[in-house]
Structure 1
Amino acid sequence: MKRVPPTMRLLAALGAASLALSACGGGSDSGSGGDVSEVSIGVMGDFTGENAGIVLPIKNAAQLAIDEYNATNPEVKIKLLPYDSQAKPEQAVSLAKNAIKQDKIVGLIGPAFSGESAQVGPVLEEAQIPSISASATNATLAENNWKYWHRVISDDDVQGAGIGEFITTGVEAKKVFVIDDKSTYGQPLAATVKANAEKGGATTQTDSIDPDGADYSSTVNKAKAFAPDAIFFGGYYAEGGKLIKQLREGGVKATFLSADGSLDPGLAKGAGGENAEGSLIGCPCLIDPEGTAGDASKKFAEAYKAKFSAPTAIYAAEAYDAATVFIKAVQSGATTAEDIQKFIGTADFTGVSKQIKFEANGEVSGGDVYIYKVTGESLPLLGNAKTAKP
């Protein structure tokens, strides 16, 4: 082995230490050592794609929380950096790498969807950057043994069970046709709804659609032949709207249900207005534009409407809570990714959407499923899935 001079060994050690800090989202720009006046937090999701309607509220609510915090003139301010993945996993991975290496983020709100979360998770884990999603609900995300991954919304096992039970108790359906979009999100969710509907005594039949296709006639014909009382769709509102339109035009009048991916006015627009009327959407998220759920919810709803001239929407409350976790971490003195990660493990506070406390696997403790009804282009809350009636 060739002997290395002491000075060379010192330079090599310093270089390795610098690389280690960079890999962790460290460096002076992100608050590792020295006086820190600002840290950067990212927010990632589909901000311009066809399903942006259910992601923009996440960005808005996170910005609201951080703007409110910065307005208090804290010693360490927070800069929110948006990353538009357009729900494309490969694009999300590239954005995540740039966010870590170039922007030196110390935390990420998101990614928004389950598919991109599955791809970005390992990148964040390797770089040791904590993330908190407000909307990625795929149940298997919590099975990856990721240390830095978290979410403030209940998973699809909880959501699917709640909706499946509601189909047989609230809707009182005896025959249920279950459709999915073959996605990381929609397919397992549909399977969980199916299993719980069967548990409630319903007979089921299944089919899948191609989300990139435009003609769902094969699925419509199968549904019509089955003559269901209810149809459940596991997928997003852009495809859900088109599916409802074709089902109605094909003579299928069964009650249409879907989950959080369809909880957007775009569902009714895509369905052609009245075709979607009365559709029922389940979600483990709380949308409370009137602030009836308590003082915190009321204050948030008023602030959101004042800032964005619109009522609160899907995932907004959860995103506000996710941002608040990072804010509380910085307020505690944590300005590096690792210190923020340590704080997240101790977080326990009453948020806008629920009590925010994380399990060891990154899941939020507790959580309910709520039912919303398509009424024109609005989606009023009917109540908890356990007690709601159509």
Structure 2
Amino acid sequence: MAVSAVLALGAVSCSDDDGGSGGDEVTIGFMGDLTGENSGLVVPPWQGATLAVDQYNATNPKIKIKLKKYDTQGKAEQATTQVQGAIKNDKIVGLIGPAFSGESQAANPILNEAKVPSVTPSATQITLAEKGWKYWHRVVADDAVQSAGAGEFLTNAGVKKLFTVSDNQDYGKGLADAVGKAVQAKGATVQSDAVNDKGTDYSSTVNKINQAKPDAVYFGGYYAVAGRLFKQLREGGYKGKMMSGDGSLATGLVEGAGQQNAQGALLSCGCLIDATGKTNEKAKKFAADYKAKFNTEVAIYSTEGFDAATAFIEAIKSGKKTTEDINDALKTVSFQGVGKPIKFDEHGELAAQDIFIYEVKNNTIPLLGNSKEAKVA
């Protein structure tokens, strides 16, 4: 098969030939949906990674980094094809991404067999850490942690009846089901339904929700679908709380639902978006540097993109150039990232377990606080 040929070449991905990773420069890839329907979740971490690499290269290091992007449009089949090309043709020594869980399921077996380390800034599906991949890492808490944090927040907010909705995809269904179980364990009742992520008419689900009269609706999936669902919920008369996860934490949610319909919508995420330095001064400086470079505010996974790139930078700064040496270095890397401490456990999971809550206000989605302490009016 074509994959086998690629993997054979991947074993020499760090040779000093005319590929991307020879001499005093190595190539790191960034993979995710950069132009598709949910690109608003992936452009920010791409920009964060770009900022980290540019700042590092500006110090005139012994080993410079070339950052190369691979646009999958969030499709697993594109991730599979592109990761093979990244290994064979570009000879990457590491990959930031893939950004989404579905494409991670497709690409990471190839990366693992080729012994190319990856650090995803945003793929949160629980089972990714259960595959036995030795070259896989992430700088964000998984959906088990996110669902526990979201469940704790909803319980503290007085939710006794919850209705979960998912897009029936790997990430969305897993998150919605886990949030349901988390609030159920606290004594709440839960009903659930699924919508077609390619569909536009969610009236059947809206009717079920209105009949159930839940205190809150939690949607598992991405902002393009969340926007349509939240819009139809409000226009259908639902007045309870609406909440979603990290996949919906983008201004595209507000645009899709309409600003009035989106007001008060709540989002949970293992990511930290803190432009004002509410949590730490490092976050404030990062936000200022980010705005100066891209003329835009920090957004979802901007900090995680920066921190994922910094993990690779720390390994390369220590003189590591081969894929296996870089992977070994990632096992011991430990530093204070922009949003949280970066240190990986034996499964590639982030040691830090914080979940943050955000609330739509006008056309922005500011930080409400840590899920353990955040309160909503």
**Which bin holds the TM-score, normalised by the shorter protein?**
over 0.9
Name the counterpart of 2:3.
none
Match runs of 1:65-80 below 5 Å: 65-80=52-67
Q: Deviations over 1:53-77 (max 9, x none)?
A: 1110010000000000111111211
The letter of the residue matching 1:27 is S
Whether the aligned pair in 2 keeps the contact of 1:29 and 1:104 (CA below 8 Å) is no
Name the counterpart of 1:133.
120
Name the counterpart of 2:315.
329
Shift of 1:212: 0.5
Q: Deviations over 1:238-266 (max 9, x none)?
A: 00000011111111111100010000111
Unaligned runs of 5+ in 2: 1-5
Whether the aligned pair in 1 keeps the contact of 2:231 and 2:256 (CA below 8 Å) is yes
* RMSD of aligned alpha carbons: 1.7
Aligned counterparts of 1:107 and 1:119: Cα–Cα separation in 2: 17
The yes-or-no answer on 1:384 pairing with 2:332 is no
Whether the aligned pair in 2 keeps the contact of 1:354 and 1:367 (CA below 8 Å) is no
Shift of 1:32: 11
Match runs of 1:315-326 below 5 Å: 315-326=301-312
The letter of the residue matching 2:319 is G
Provide the TM-score with structure 1 as the length reference. Answer: 0.92
Name the counterpart of 1:348.
334
Q: Do the aligned partners of residues 283 and 234 (structure 1) sit closer, same or farther apart at CA in structure 2, a change above 3 Å counting? A: same
Match runs of 1:97-246 below 5 Å: 97-169=84-156, 171-246=157-232
Q: Deviations over 1:169-228 (max 9, x none)?
A: 1x2111111101101101011111001111222111100000011111110110010011
Whether the aligned pair in 2 keeps the contact of 1:46 and 1:85 (CA below 8 Å) is yes
Shift of 1:19: 8.5
Which of 299, 313, 327 is equivalent to 2:299?
Answer: 313
Aligned counterparts of 1:128 and 1:22: Cα–Cα separation in 2: 7
Aligned counterparts of 1:249 and 1:278: Cα–Cα separation in 2: 15
Name the counterpart of 1:28.
16
Shift of 1:20: 5.2
Shift of 1:46: 0.4
Unaligned runs of 5+ in 1: 1-17
Aligned counterparts of 1:56 and 1:148: Cα–Cα separation in 2: 24
Name the counterpart of 1:11.
none
Shift of 1:292: 2.7
Which of 344, 358, 367 is equivalent to 1:372?
Answer: 358
Whether the aligned pair in 1 keeps the contact of 2:53 and 2:67 (CA below 8 Å) is yes
Aligned counterparts of 1:176 and 1:32: Cα–Cα separation in 2: 50
SS at match of 1:185: helix
Aligned counterparts of 2:7 and 2:350: Cα–Cα separation in 1: 33
The letter of the residue matching 2:79 is A
Shift of 1:295: 2.7
Shift of 1:38: 0.5
Which of 218, 223, 235 is equivalent to 1:249?
Answer: 235
Shift of 1:349: 1.0
Whether the aligned pair in 2 keeps the contact of 1:44 and 1:83 (CA below 8 Å) is yes
Name the counterpart of 1:275.
261
Shift of 1:376: 1.4
Match runs of 1:81-96 below 5 Å: 81-96=68-83
Whether the aligned pair in 2 keeps the contact of 1:152 and 1:322 (CA below 8 Å) is yes
Name the counterpart of 1:357.
343
The letter of the residue matching 2:23 is V
Aligned counterparts of 1:321 and 1:281: Cα–Cα separation in 2: 22
Shift of 1:37: 1.2
Q: Deviations over 1:67-102 (max 9, x none)?
A: 001111112110000000000000011000000000
Name the counterpart of 1:302.
288
Shift of 1:366: 1.9
Name the counterpart of 2:279.
293
Aligned counterparts of 2:228 and 2:71: Cα–Cα separation in 1: 25
Structure whose alpha-carbon radius of gyration is higher: 1
The letter of the residue matching 1:26 is C
Which of 233, 246, 251 is equivalent to 1:265?
Answer: 251
Range with bigger deviation, 20-29 or 359-368? 20-29
The letter of the residue matching 1:353 is G
Name the counterpart of 1:9.
none
Which of 324, 344, 353 is equivalent to 1:338?
Answer: 324
Shift of 1:168: 1.3
Which of 17, 25, 31 is equivalent to 1:44?
Answer: 31
Whether the aligned pair in 2 keeps the contact of 1:24 and 1:129 (CA below 8 Å) is no
Aligned counterparts of 1:183 and 1:339: Cα–Cα separation in 2: 35
Aligned counterparts of 2:286 and 2:356: Cα–Cα separation in 1: 19
Aligned counterparts of 1:324 and 1:132: Cα–Cα separation in 2: 10
The letter of the residue matching 1:308 is F
SS at match of 2:55: helix
SS at match of 1:176: strand
Count of residue pairs brought into register by the alignment? 371
